[in-house]
C-alpha cells in the first residue's frame, strides 16, 4: 500500500483492477484519486524495457541499451538495426 501511495505522490502512473479479476486488464487511475484497497488491486504501471539490436545475419546480432549505442557500434556488414519493446500486460 505504501508503494502505491508513494508512487502516486511522486507522479508515477498507478493502475487498478477489480480485486481477483486477473482476466481483466489494468486501467490507469486518475492522479490524486484515493485508493480503495478493499475493492481493487493496484500496481505501479511497469515501464517496458527497450533494446536496440544490430542484425548481421541469421543468428548473428548484437543488442544495445540505446539507439545511440547501436548506431555508434554498428559495423559495415550490419544488415539492419531493429528496436524491440517489451510487452507489459
Per-residue model confidence as pLDDT tens digits over 51-67: 999 999 888 999 999 99
Choose one of 29, 44, 59: the last residue of a domain. Answer: 44
pLDDT at 43: 94
Domain that holds residue 10: 2-44
pLDDT top residue among 86 and 21: 86
Same domain? 58 vs 33? no
Per-residue model confidence as pLDDT tens digits over 10-32: 989 999 999 988 888 899 998 77
User: How far apart, in whole angstroms, are the C-alpha atoms of residue 51 and residue 57?
Assistant: 18
pLDDT at 88: 85
Total domains in the fold of the chain: 2
Per DSSP, which regions of 1-73 are E strands? 14-18, 27-28, 40-44, 50-57, 60-64
Mean pLDDT value of segment 25-54: 90
Same domain? 60 vs 39? no
Cα angle for residues 63, 47, 31 (degrees, 5° grid): 165
Amino acid at each position: 500500500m505504501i508503494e502505491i501511495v508513494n508512487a502516486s505522490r511522486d507522479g508515477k502512473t498507478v493502475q487498478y483492477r477489480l480485486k481477483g479479476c486477473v482476466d481483466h486488464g489494468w486501467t490507469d487511475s486518475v492522479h490524486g484519486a484515493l485508493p480503495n484497497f478493499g475493492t481493487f488491486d493496484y500496481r505501479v504501471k511497469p515501464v517496458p524495457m527497450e533494446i536496440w539490436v544490430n542484425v548481421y545475419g541469421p543468428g548473428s546480432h548484437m543488442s544495445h541499451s540505446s539507439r545511440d549505442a547501436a548506431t555508434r557500434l554498428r559495423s559495415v556488414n550490419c544488415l539492419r538495426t531493429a528496436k524491440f519493446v517489451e510487452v507489459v500486460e
